[in-house]
Chain A
Amino acid sequence: MENEVKLAAGAMVALAVATAALVILPYIQVRDIHAPEGLKPYTSAELRGREVYIANGCVYCHTQQPRDRNLGPDAERGWGRASVPGDYIYDKPHLLGSMRTGPDLFNIGARQPSQDWHLGHLYQPRAYVPGSIMPSYPYMFDVKPEAEEGDVVLKLPPGAAPNGRVVVARPEALDLVRYLRGLNHTYPVLPPQPRGEAAPAAAPPPAGAASSADAKAS
């Protein structure tokens, strides 16, 4: 092996093959999908909350990708149907996650719609879920002698509230909870269409259903 050009060229070809397979082909396959009908773009408050979610690294303990029934009881745990590419159309960056130290949050807004629960749980998770190892986020809240005009006061379980003082949510906590409550992907997506068959005329499929065929196949 005496030729540095062969070395560089070979290395580049190897990387190009990998890039074609894992970056370019998936891009070609999913670029034409559209949002499912039931999926709404994030509001600006939700987007701010999403930034809080990203900044505090929630993604390292929580996934947002329920798996298919044959890969685990995600649906039975109430985490929802397996996700499809169209579900993530507004997500930038993606927050699929790779770890389930905590439960999947893809449909947390549907499972737990209460703002009070979310705020209190962020303030002290162990007051709501005994044995939880989620960190508490006291820096997203203010502890004051009494609430002022416009403050959102936390309704904490007995024992969790500081004595004689009130806990009020800071804007980042409120935004984060708005984002979490907005995580609701319970809208229907059509079952995968077999390739080559026309979609039933009666119910035109939402765009994106065709590309979800491959996703379900995994």
Chain B
Amino acid sequence: MTATSLTPKRGPRLRVNRLVLYTVLVAITGLFLGPFGWLVISGLKTPAELAASPVHWLPDHVQWHNIADAFNLIDFLGYARNSLIIALIYATLVTLSSAWVGFGFARLEAPGKKTLFAILLGSMMLPQMITLLPTYLIFAKLGMVDTYWPWVLWGLSSAPYLVFLFRQFFAGLPRELEEAAIVDGCGYSAIFWRIFLPQSWPVLSASFVIAFTWTWGDYIAPQLLLSTDRTTLAVAVMSTYVTSAGTPVTNLQAAASVMYVVPILLIFLVAQRGFVAGMSTTGLK
């Protein structure tokens, strides 16, 4: 075996390597952005251009009015408001409840805690669908179908994934944080609200973004639980862009789905830094 120099090799070979690396990366990135780019282009075509065969690559005239039409053909803002309400309710409640439960698992001891934690982790493997269909039947009996109550309940009951996130973060904080407070006679809930919660902004925001994205993107639960009027944008974009004759208007659907996706992309881009920080401080891997 030949000895290898520890100093990085410089020279033509390295430069070629780097060129290959960048080419590969740019190509892959292009492929990854392709579907979304195509969606944007599709949303700016006329129906004829969109139906053309072979493919009509770019619109002859960019149909900006498609965006307005997509707004007007259905009650776009109404659906967006429904999505927003549900996502805000769920993300706020589930973030707080998961932080609360996560604190318990991170900082307190009790008999049975290990078992409960194992169940909590195990329940992450539980397919949502298995509980969702019977849940629908139960909510139907309770008269909660077509209300936003299910999201309130789901939010209050915390989410295992987020509990784990908070538990990891809280477990990493120094013990002295609560000890002084206990000596002063502070209850644990005061310790949680006054000491731990204010420390956990990165995780709180990561959790909020994750939960908001889940709800905004969810298709099955609103499809099951909500009527056409009260449903979310996800369902509306998927199924309501049809003419009175019932034929789908695909160019408007494309324009609408761009508008549906953009808020999530923006939230992600804005929150990205804190999001990644939140994920890494929790040591979630």
Partners in one complex: no
Residues of A within 8 A of B (CB): none
Residues of B within 8 A of A (CB): none
